Amino acid sequence: SSDKSVLSIQSHVTHGYVGNKAATFPLQLHGFDVDAINTVSLSNHSGYPVIKGHRMDLTEFTTLLDGLRANDFLSDYAYVLTGYINNADIIRHVAATVAEVREKRQQQGKKDIVFFCDPVMGDDGRLYCKEEVVAAYRELVAHANIVTPNYFEASILSTVEVKDLMSAIEAANWFHEQGTPTVVIKSFTMPDDPTHLRFLLSCHDKVTGSTKRYTGVVQYYEGRYTGTGDVFAASLVAFAHNHPIDLAVGKAMGVLQDLIKATVERGGSGKATLNSRELRVTSDPDRLLHPSTVISVTPLP
Ligand code: ATP
């Protein structure tokens, strides 16, 4: 079994690119085996006027895990990546799943598992999950090696309103206090710079107690794009596999810039229809591997 194997627990949509539909292709291009658990199986993402399909419950989730366990697949996962779940029972069970994989790998002398947790709950001031989901994520993040909230999710979980670099640092500190070593707050707008989005990478060393922080900016494309966080998290798993985390963040940011630019150029500008703003994930595979620019990720003093 390879060390490029990921259990990806996210949504599935028939049409468009969010969740596992957005994450699987980039990861596979990078040579990863992606074992997907589809937490929901829906016609399209929830921004559209109509949404049809099925949502998994805890029994369905544990049934799939029973199958994976019985065939002895669980110890093969070098990575667990979680995205949209929106079910507090399943979110709570993920911690046990990660612990089980960790223990099995330890017994077999394999490298420790790395758990990337994207606590998908909402964006731009709109929570699309129940309060019990928030509570479940507050506990789950303690088990994650890396969390990748957007500014809104970071604010909800930490109760620190992320509105500038200082507040982003404070919010990241909350995650460190819970036990998460690495936090990426993927984007927030700066009052004095409306043409860019800023991000924060915060790395806490539990042994020394020290925290290294980095920041940078990307060009802001007017309008809302869905699936950006999902492609980002998948790309981060892939780049962090063989790069230091700050460089991996810069590359994943670069991938998103190329992808949004490609989407805009093919008619998906800020004011276009939702459907034309579906990320063009398959349009230029080489750019997913080699972004045209690697965004600078600068250490903070
Ligand atoms: P989540 O999966 O946590 O709900 P999200 O998609 O809301 O994530 P964002 O922070 O909005 O998360 O987007 C992830 C990344 O995509 C950002 O770090 C940024 O690089 C890029 N991005 C998203 N929207 C834009 C935009 N309008 N202009 C430029 N870059 C963007």
Alpha carbons 110 and 199: distance in angstroms, whole number: 33
Q: Residue 1: its pLDDT value, please?
A: 52
Length of the chain: 301
DSSP state of 142: G
Residues with CB under 6 A from ligand 1: 118, 120, 123, 149-150, 153, 186-187, 197, 199, 218, 220-221, 223, 225, 228-230, 232, 253, 256, 260
Report the half-sphere exposure of 126 (CA within 13 A, side-chain side).
6
Q: Residue 230: its pLDDT value, please?
A: 98
Pairing type for strands 146-147 and 114-117 reads parallel
Q: Residue 122: its pLDDT value, please?
A: 82
Run of H or E residues at 95:
helix 88-107
Atom of ligand 1 nearest to the CA of 119: 3
Which value does ipTM take for this structure? 0.97
Q: Residue 2: its pLDDT value, please?
A: 76
Residues of the chain where predicted confidence (pLDDT) is lower than 70: 1
Ligand 1 probe mutation, 186, 224, 279, most atoms within 8 A of CB: 186
CB 225 within 8 A of CB 200: no
Q: Residue 271: its pLDDT value, please?
A: 84
Name the pTM for this structure: 0.97
Q: Residue 95: its pLDDT value, please?
A: 97
Q: Give the contacts of 257 (CB within 8 A, at least 6 positions apart).
A: 218, 219, 291, 292, 293, 295
Name which residue sits closest to atom 18 of ligand 1, judged by CA. Answer: 186
